[in-house]
Amino acid sequence: MDLPPSGPSGLIAYAGTDEGRKRLRYAAVSAVFLPLGQVLLQVFGLLLDDYAAASLLSAAILTLPNFFANKHFVWRITSRENLHSQVLVFWAAVMLGVSLATLFTYLVQSAMADQPRLLLGAAVLLAQEFGYGLVWVGRFLLLDRWLFKIAGDTPEKAREVIGEIPT
């Protein structure tokens, strides 16, 4: 996998490539669903008076539409075998992300139970972002950097392996 060139003109040129456009579509889907999930979390947290349950409920509501948005926008030009890999990585990342975000939310909620709602809501937002962020960064670091270096000694072999794993 080629890294985007440095500098503004290099990044603009990279955005015009198939890989660059795919990454932009992936970022756009995330930019829609992450804030939407956080809004649902705050609303359900207030209604249920339990942010951990609200975390699971908002994830249950948004995971399927998020999957189909990825399938339609991000994975649209993908071989059947590669699509299978993309789907597996997506579901693994969702399960791990929701689990971590909910765990951190539960810990924050337990530690700050006597705090004002506004402060609790802000702390829950940070806990959620931290949980999902760890999974997002870990996915890209492990899959894109570490795993692919092990997978192939030659650039051709690495490109072949990279083509089978979502970026």
In a domain, residue 152? The reply is: yes
How many domains does the chain contain in total?
A: 1
User: Looking at residue 90, what is its pLDDT?
Assistant: 86
Query: What residues have CB less than 8 Å from 47, skipping those under 6 apart?
Result: 54
In this structure, are residues 160 and 152 in contact, taking their beta carbons and an 8 Å threshold?
A: yes
In a domain, residue 132? The reply is: yes
CA distance 62 to 34: 9
What values do phi and psi take at 4, rounded to 5? -60, 140
The pTM for the full model equals: 0.73
Residue type at 47 in one-letter notation: L
Whether 153 shows a pLDDT value over 90: the answer reads: no
pLDDT, tens digit, 9 for 90 and up, residues 56-81: 999 999 999 999 998 888 888 777 77
In a domain, residue 156? The reply is: yes
pLDDT, tens digit, 9 for 90 and up, residues 129-152: 999 989 888 877 776 555 545 544
Nearest CA among 94, 165, 108 for reference residue 136: 94
pLDDT, tens digit, 9 for 90 and up, residues 6-51: 555 555 666 667 777 777 888 889 889 989 999 999 999 999 999 9
In a domain, residue 2? The reply is: no
In a domain, residue 1? The reply is: no
Provide the residue range defining the domain that includes 151. 8-162
